[in-house]
Chain A
């Protein structure tokens, strides 16, 4: 166990409490910098998606994890960012301009959603955000003069300083990495400042926050705006990465995926957003693997245990049929969500912290350290 001797207030403020962190994150960053040159283009492409999802995850975390305002409408913010980019790009607006414009516009829309949300709590807020996302989706499908409706929009490769940056190039990879890194650093900065603490205060008790001088309405709107703006920035990258956008990409399903990102990763630290993003992005390759390789492997195992060739082939066919069933992804999502809510509400990062603490305190670790409080009384659930 490491003992920290704090001699200055700065020791509590620093992003990296001790040298070990700098080494760990330095190595990680160094790996990510060389990654596009040593990994296959497929993996690099997946990493780009991880960065984009993680950016959205961090944005959503600010709203849901820290301010305690649930949102099932973040796909709409992503859509607004993506469509702003696609629309402005047609008029040869330079990339930095439309990138900022997309974030700004999404932030403004987020604030506009935030105002009505002030009066709503819990389930009502969830439903309001779902409704908002539906309405945006329908607007995108119907406002054909701007969005080309259900035909969707092509997004050209982004132009920067006169050169085209292809969506598979290392430059684009670094752009996404930079956006994610800046988002995370900005979020961490916010969390060690009065604004971030005000968010957390609102999450835990609005009444107490108010009587400590926190303008709850203002900070809720701020939280919505920041969260939406970050998602809008991610939307620009999303549009460029996919090079084509249409309304049916930005459905409730996508909003739920974003929630899954922070649910599985852990909603209280940017680490969680990154872990959750890795999970969500890897599920498709995993399913492909399940479809293509696993049936053969199982058949081979069966064969070594003395199953005849015919039986082995039959097993292979059955497993393959199951693995390629249409709704399998949904079933996996469903099971994973339920398992995480039931057994690891703090997400993967929470599990990691528990394991770390277990070894630090060994053999004194108490199981109850991370126990959640249950509330059985209706009136106590109001904040």
Chain B
């Protein structure tokens, strides 16, 4: 079987050649694919399906935020294998950075594009500050640490009300200044937001793929596979993990600045655990470790959650089905708010996913190999599989 797989990779047909060409010219491939996707996203809403174009553009712009978040978390969880449950904290820090730089509250009005970079940089600093003391921890312990950090940050923003206006949050943020060609950023026409979001996502994807293909990306994957073996092969595990953490935070900070500039308000309740959890679910559903897979997964999950579930309500209302009784149960579809069921849906999706497709919708090659070892592996598989816990070797 392994020999067959090898042959398949070596001398496959046009499909294989296409894959190889795209791997050799990643940045160009991403640019081509993203411009195709962009033109689709620009044209499609004009058909007025379910909602008008500005509704769609708005949803796409918001989806871009979650795509960014998911790609950033993918570096931490999918590539380096560090479970981060407090990812929303860096999102919050990026958002508040923009709020301080562009609001009546602080009296500052700094330009938008540089603030994207500065906000991301501030989030990165916090990522390092959290990572440096904690990255010696592993597995569950690290997850609990990050969970704690994710809880602390919104609470700090909540309780420092002299500086952050507490529960009310900082409102009335200035929108970004008009850009050439795109025009004004206004709540009525979210088109420029969508374009900026697409550009940022494309840029982030190119940069993340470059890291993924470099020695740094290999080091992350090596740490995920076997941390001790990685150290024994000359990888400074602490620095490498710290870099993954900082880059995840940077991406999150980007998303935060963009999101704050779009919502024009930041408040602590935007950054609760549900955000961290949603993004983690997106990463898992998309296919941990695979950058474009995670981006696609995040987009799909966001669209289901924010557009289609909302539309189910409208559709059901329009159908106007009469209420009926099923034995003792009274069923009235009009009374059900399907939006309330999004977490039930997540739950179902995750359970089904773990049962039937644990590697996600669009898994990376490594991941698929790992989770389908019994079907694909050759003679060597049992040996590597069995050597998991060796006493003495695992101590560090």
Are chains A and B native binding partners rather than an unrelated pairing? Answer: no
